[in-house]
Structure 1
Amino acid sequence: MAITKGAQIRYSILDRCFSNPAINYTKIKLLDTINSKLIELGYDGIALRQMQYDIAFMESSEGFGIELAQGLNDGRKRIFRYADPKFSLADHPLNQSDQEQLKTTLSILSRYRYREEFEWLDELLPRIEAAFEFAHNDYSSLISYQSNRDYVGQSWVGKIYNYLIQKKVLEITYRSFNQEQSENRIIHPYHLKQFNNRWFLFGHQISENGYSGLTTLALDRILDILPNDNKFIETHIEWGDYFDEMIGVSKSDEKPVLITLRFRESRIKYIDTKPIHGATQKNVTTDPSGLTRTIEVIPNRELYQKLLSFGEDVTVVSPESVKQKMIEKIQQMKENY
């Protein structure tokens, strides 16, 4: 029998409870924890009988075959905890039914992987196949992906994504790198974006004493998130187009400017195969050397970081404002040595 989304969420909550030796989860405490989390995620709570069915299924061979500790009690009440403290469903293989269901889903998705709008499937499908051992046994020796497993903000991605779907207003405890004390921000969340192995939340900030308006929060600077019942403010921003005028995530009130760049011959082919800014990068046909390209973007921090990453292989031809900014940064770098 295939596992429904609601059931899978309940199993995941139970898994976290069973894995936590710091809390003595009795039957009633388990039920309270499950229902609290389900309501937070926008689902209805469950009755005690349903939770007992869920635990029985998790213990069965048709489910996950988990083993709960015996003889653990809080007074006369049984404590629910894994017999093996290191056990987790995250490390447990899928049962046969789920494997077949996942394989069918992957098969359907694979039909679309060669369409331009589904290019992301070329990266996603091999990862899933390898994670669940549907692919080559020595997959890790065939292909590697850039990732940052130690990234602090990763744990917030799924939670914020659920709040985005539910259009929940959030109270976020946040501390930027230049703040000594954290602060609470009321955010109407709109969009999550990954850039340079970090995640960022875009939303509308409401403040009585400080800044109100569109803001960007780095997920690795978030300390806590709580939903509230405030009315959600909709946005008219087309997020599919929002980033077309810039590199990265820092958008100011400045207008995009046409930037002319000249590259060394040894670098130009790399620039053409991996454009700096694919939406606007163009070849300057009037340059007989064929080494000049233009991009039209907002001059932000990420632009200068990108240009500096090319080192001596790039020269900013124009405009003068961007050229001077590059000169200032290069001179500051020189002073470091």
Structure 2
Amino acid sequence: MPVNRNALIRYRTIDSCLQNRRRKWTLDDLIEACSEAIYEYQGITSGVSRRTIQADIEMMRSNKLGYEAPIVVTDKKYYTYADKNYSITNIPLNQQDLQVLTEVSDLLKQFKGFGHFSDVSEMVSKLEDKIYTQKTQSTPVIDFEKNDNLKGLEWIEVIRKAIVAKRTLCVTYQSFKAREASTFCLSGYLLKEYRNRWFVLGRSHQRNGPLLTLALDRIQAIEEHAEDYRPNTQIDLATYYDDVLGVTKSSNQPTCEVVFWVDKQNAPYVITKPLHHTQKQLHEDETGKIFSIRVILNFELERELLGFGSKMRVLGPRVLVKQIKAQLLKALNGYEQSDEDKERKKIIEDWE
């Protein structure tokens, strides 16, 4: 059964709302959310009628589109999914879907050889693997990196829309170090992924308006706020993270030339997968190779270097050498026997 674009936008919007169990959704809330989505994607300002959304809900409940969505009404006015894990995006693809995806894949493959479309290759591979899996009912032959238990992904679309529309967000956030959550206004500028975690770069509306990088998995709630959006006028978003490994960065923080030695067995891995785009090889002998990168010193850099263990030795700058050495000594001390270690060993033996 063919579905027009507007209807598909409404179905996806209703689905997204009902997956968000942090708030209760009335029919009016769903109408408002769908009207905003239609305006954003289609530029239509006439809004969506109550009758249309009621018909959409019945369509989603039915098997006409293969959804059979378990939409229920609680307290005679709040809409939700009876199954908290349900989403229309999780249902198997039908033959028409597979045909469309195959056509899209064939089209995208034509762009794989062009430099401007270098990111298309992975997209096409994912798409082709999905089509193959659905057609043959077999296990995937490509296993892309993912984290099914990752928190905070529900905020990506909320933040993206706010950035595009230049709207202020009211964010309730609790970092790992904070004892309790705090709520503040934020003007978002950029969504960034690092090692399968998502972050938003934006400016706080608190006094002095510091630039913040917030982890989406530490956000507890987000709402749009009436405060005026504060546009970015100070940083180049396209190059802001060029001098950093990870996402931790302070304003006006200087870069350093980090020099490190890697043994000959592991040097090829560092060559084929550089730690940073500024990486250079400085020296080579029978024991290994010496490299350098120019980056800001931060937690993610230390964690990356420590991950090589004895296979790597940091040679400079001096402050980083001192910090890495302190971390390694602390780790070594953690393996020394003590009464506490004996107690832990007993617990492990009992568990096994």
Give the structure-1-normalised TM-score: 0.81
Matches within 5 A, 1:5-20: 5-15=5-15
Q: Is 2:32 aligned against 1:36?
A: yes
Query: Residues 229, 300 of structure 1: CA spacing in aligned structure 2 closer, same or farther, 3 A cutoff?
Result: same
2:218 to 217, 221, 242: 221
Question: Which amino acid in 2 is paired with 1:163?
Answer: A
Q: How does 1:1-337 map to 2 (within 5 A)?
A: 3-15=3-15, 29-30=26-27, 32-41=28-37, 43=39, 44=45, 45-51=47-53, 53-54=55-56, 58=60, 63-64=65-66, 66=68, 88-94=87-93, 96-132=95-131, 133=133, 137-140=137-140, 142-208=141-207, 212-236=209-233, 237-252=235-250, 253-277=252-276, 279-284=277-282, 286-289=283-286, 291-337=289-335
Contact 1:171 1:184 survives alignment (8 Å): yes
Deviations 1:256-313 (A, max 9, x none): 1111111100000000001011x200111x5455611111111111111000000011
Cα distance in 2, alignment partners of residues 297 and 24 from structure 1: 46
Alpha carbons of structure 1 residues 201 and 135: separation in structure 2 relative to 1, 3 Å: farther
- How far has the Cα of 1:88 moved from its partner? 4.8
- Equivalent position SS for 1:154: coil
Q: Structure 1 residues 294, 61: closer, same or farther in 2, change over 3 A?
A: same
Is contact 1:42-1:166 (8 Å) kept?
A: no
Give RMSD over aligned pairs.
3.6
Percent of aligned positions that are identical = 28
Number of residue pairs matched by the alignment: 325
How big is the shift at 1:46? 0.9
- Listed as ranges, the gaps of 5+ residues in structure 2 are 40-44, 336-352
- CA deviation profile, 1:13-58 (whole Å, cap 9, x unmatched): 445788999x999xxx53x132221355473531134335535655
Farther-moved stretch of structure 1 (178-187 vs 58-67) = 58-67
| Distance apart, 1:93 and its partner CA | 3.5
Change (3 A) 1:179 1:68: closer
Q: Distance in 2 between matches of 1:254 and 1:73?
A: 52
Letter of the structure 2 residue corresponding to residue 6 of structure 1: N
